[in-house]
Amino acid sequence: MVKNNIIVWFRNDLRVLDNPTLSKASKTDGNVIPLFILDKQLFNGARSSQNRNRFLIESLINLDNNLKKIKSRLIIAEGDPELILSEYCKKYEVSSVYISEDYTPYSIKRDNAVTNSLNKNGIQVNKFPGRLVVSNLDAIRTKTESIFKVYTPFYNNWSLIQRRQVCPIPEKINTPADIYSIELPKISDLDKKYLSPNVSLGGEDKALEIFNSFKSKNIFDYNEAHNDLPGDKTSRISPYLHFGCISALYMESSVGQSDGETAWKRQLCWRDFYNYILFNYPSNIRSEFQEKYRNLKWNNNDALLKAWQEGKTGYPIVDAAMRQLNNEGWMHNRGRLIVGSFLTKDLFIDWRKGEDYFQKMLIDGDISNNNGNWQWIASVGVDPAPVFRRIFNPTLQQEKFDPDGVYIKKYVPELKNVPLKYLGDPSLMPNDVQEESGCKIGKDYPFPIINHSEARKMTLEEFSRV
């Protein structure tokens, strides 16, 4: 080999369509080594997830298949990225490592360490866009060159920024046959304790299938139907975005300007916004953005936290959403708002504990979005609103977003025969109705673990105190 070979280091850009890093590498004269590194933080770190590990393995298998279609293959290595890259660069006479730019505090620290190490040995590290719709986060500034802290003005600015061109799938990638690669871990070897039974299949092929179906059907009603819990007319594309199985820019460029399409594109902007916030305020990773709320006296009640995690709070809409999470590794966005409000405003449990549990269970457990959404619903983050506006009454949420109880009865089957008039609060059922419905409160389904009205009052008092 001549020393102009390139490593394309895949991380959360597991696709061949609209992958600027892979596209640029394919146009060089040297050979290309598509490399994925299994590091211990990914599979066994404090914030790792068995659901995401399963989804990742499936996505890597699919990426390898798609690379083979263009005469290449995915190389798998295991260990510390800095050491692995140094070893491969030396062994295979690599001159450059190409990466898609990432924005989380951990990713930036990792990439800086790798860059410094490789540069000392004459190896260049080249960063390319691809993670977000607008990858140049420094270009998004207010008129006074400060950071946006409210979503709508950010969106207005974001909408005006010129997009890069979508990259087609490379026709061919030249990958030598003698590059060493290990086997991927087996899904059967994952820890089943936190492995949900009905997780969506990972991979670029599945991502395109789901997006194309959504684009041709439900996107046109998205602005009106995205909160419909039983209808489930959201795109369900978030896990694929997290792993980069599909490009956010490719999707934005593929849809039109109808009300539904515009409303859905705003969700892509929310994703960019939360990456932008964490990029500019890395301390947000474990601290409230609003300093005045860093002294809130959260309730450290493990029994209440466990009831919330298991979907046994006595509030059916909360329990249905939490059981969807535990069953599918995913939750409808309206459900996320409901359970987030319940944990932080009814139980007054620290938002970080909710964020941690979501990060453990969600296949779309993206650090920036998970953090931003939890701070938003806890009323401690950017894009502030009066606290009372983000305290959701679970019973009213059920009446508004699951009026016929279809969503609840799907995920909380012990309530399947409960009359609709009692579904918001089954504890109000008279004894004879409990007998008729086969649902004895306190036995088949729990009493409410908290009184919403009293909890709401105490929450507002605590926020006022600080």
The contacts of residue 44 (CB under 8 Å, 6+ apart) are none
pLDDT above 50 for 1:
no
Asked if residue 194 is part of any domain, the answer here is no
Domain count for the chain: 3
> What pLDDT does residue 3 have?
63
Within 10 Å of residue 280's Cβ, how many Cβ atoms? Answer: 16
**How far is residue 131 from each of residues 26, 128, 258, 273, 369, measured CA to CA in Å?**
19, 9, 25, 13, 13
Specify whether 341 is located in the same domain as 460.
yes
Specify whether 157 is located in the same domain as 125.
no
Amino acid found at 148 = F
- Map residue 193 onto helix, strand or coil: helix
Specify whether 295 is located in the same domain as 442.
yes
What is the per-residue pLDDT across 325-342, written as a single tens digit (0 to 9) for each? 999 999 999 999 999 999
Mean of pLDDT over the chain: 96
Nearest-angstrom CA–CA distance, 195 and 192: 5
Specify whether 265 is located in the same domain as 208.
yes
- Could you list the residue range(s) of the whole structural domain that residue 159 is in? 132-165+203-280
Specify whether 21 is located in the same domain as 124.
yes
Report the share of the chain in percent with pLDDT over 90. 94
Specify whether 266 is located in the same domain as 149.
yes
pLDDT above 50 for 12:
yes
End-to-end CA separation in angstroms for the chain: 65
Specify whether 271 is located in the same domain as 346.
no
> What pLDDT does residue 398 have?
97
Strand order in the sheet with 32-38: 75-78, 32-38, 5-10, 94-100, 124-128
42-60 core/surface letters (b: 16 or more CB in 10 A; e: else): bbeeeebbbbbbbbbbbbb
Specify whether 140 is located in the same domain as 118.
no
Q: Which two tokens stand for residue 434?
A: 């409990």
Nearest-angstrom CA–CA distance, 99 and 81: 12
Specify whether 136 is located in the same domain as 118.
no
Asked if residue 183 is part of any domain, the answer here is no
For residue 224, the domain's CATH number is 1.25.40.80
pLDDT above 90 for 384:
no
Lowest mean pLDDT, pick from 1-5, 171-175, 246-250, 448-452: 1-5
Q: Which two tokens stand for residue 178?
A: 């003698």
